[in-house]
Structure 1
Amino acid sequence: MNILYTIGDSLYVNLTNKCPCRCIFCIRDEKDEIEKSGSLWLEHEPSIDEIKEAFKNYNLSDYNEVVFCGYGEPLVRLDEVIEISKFIKEKSNVKVRVNTNGLSDLIHKKKTAILLKDNIDSISISLNAPNKEVYTKVTRPKYGEVSFEYMINFAKECKEYISEVAFSVVDEISQEEIEMSKVLANKLGIDLKVRNKN
């Protein structure tokens, strides 16, 4: 079971396979691994002890960052993300990032950005679309159209508590929608990265 995997000089943490979205471009619908990660489908959600044990096989000084990102939405396991982040920071000065769909407030039915304060250095939020209509069509969130507004509000709040906040879109949407997404991101004062699907 692959709890940790590496891509370049980043160490990734695969906490869960649960996700409230079914994005039309989701890579896990096509393959079981990313680069040479091995299968990212988990036999079970790893416990805190299992995650800490997995870290014993890696030297954190070898990496530029530790990233919570696997075959699921990491903030489904918000408490575990926070606890493992604290564990990492006790051992190293390595940067800690979360890649998220930004729906944590809907998942946990409370404000969650503030809980990441002092634990997360960087967060990348999947904007995926310039408005709720396209967003709902592309990400197919189980919470419906309200998801887009919650994601935007989560991003705004992250700016208050996390030093680096970025949006991302996948180049599966149209160029016009990408340009509209850039306008929205600029309006919110958040950098936008355009990701290749693969």
Structure 2
Amino acid sequence: MLDHKGTRFYGLNYKCPCDCVFCVRKNYDSLTTEGSLWLEHEPELSEIINELKKRDLSKYDEAVFCGYGEPLVRIDTLIEVCKYIRSVSSIKIRINTNGLSDLIHQKPTAHLLSGLVDSISISLNAPSADEYLKITNPEFGIESFQSLLNFAQASKKVIGDVYFSVVDILTEEQILRCKEISERMNIPLKIRHKA
């Protein structure tokens, strides 16, 4: 559930509404030398909290929800884990997400994270809806890209520290167009390297 540094929360779930062409879980069962990130079962909230109670969170700078599934699929559990962390620690909390939470839950969701999450990294992955569809294969279809942008804008209003990311499998021209989106929305863009 926690990585070797204890700062990343993998394994809230393994569900994801995307099937990205670059997804690391297609080729690896781990991102570290600490063993597989595939768990025997999806942990209950009590299991996650009990695991956190074993850690001295003051030793860490940040807790990051990310991993082999989209963390916001289990938004209610994530919120409760954030509340627990906030009750015992002042460490920063970040979510790495595909930005499709509104489609997953069929309602606006960014406001639910207000006051609990310090920053959100949203995988932009492409500069247009058609290209996004080809790269991420979202189960929600063509509307996914606009929903991601809407979630990013809403997150910027209620959380503030929001940034986009793209993987360097894109062409230079595609990355340039992603930068144009990020500048237009006033949301910084980070370029990640494919694992």
Normalising by structure 2, we get a TM-score of: 0.97
**What secondary structure does 1:50 align onto?**
helix
Residue equivalent to 1:13: 9
Mind listing any 5+ residue stretches in structure 2 that lack a counterpart?
Answer: none
Amino acid at match of 1:108: H
Amino acid at match of 1:75: L
**2: CA distance between counterparts of 1:126 and 1:87?**
26
**1: CA distance between counterparts of 2:147 and 2:31?**
29
2:53 to 51, 56, 59: 56
Q: Does 1:129 align with 2:126?
A: yes
Mind listing any 5+ residue stretches in structure 1 that lack a counterpart?
Answer: none
Residue equivalent to 1:165: 162
**1: CA distance between counterparts of 2:161 and 2:83?**
18
**2: CA distance between counterparts of 1:173 and 1:105?**
26
2:21 to 24, 33, 36: 24
**1: CA distance between counterparts of 2:149 and 2:25?**
25
Q: Percent identity at matched positions?
A: 50
**What secondary structure does 1:193 align onto?**
strand
Amino acid at match of 1:164: D
Amino acid at match of 1:138: I
CA deviation digits over 1:4-50, x for unaligned, max 9? 1145xx60112110000000000000110012342111221101110
Residue equivalent to 1:105: 102
Residue equivalent to 1:47: 44
**2: CA distance between counterparts of 1:51 and 1:64?**
19
Residue equivalent to 2:84: 87
Change (3 A) 1:37 1:126: farther
Residue equivalent to 1:155: 152
Is contact 1:16–1:42 with CA below 8 Å preserved after alignment? no
RMSD after superposition: 1.0
Is contact 1:132–1:149 with CA below 8 Å preserved after alignment? yes
How far did residue 63 of structure 1 move?
Answer: 1.2
Normalising by structure 1, we get a TM-score of: 0.95
CA deviation digits over 1:85-130, x for unaligned, max 9? 0100111100000000000000000000010100111000000011
Segments ≥4 residues shifted beyond 6 Å: none
Residue equivalent to 1:96: 93
Is contact 1:16–1:77 with CA below 8 Å preserved after alignment? yes
Number of residues paired by the alignment? Answer: 194
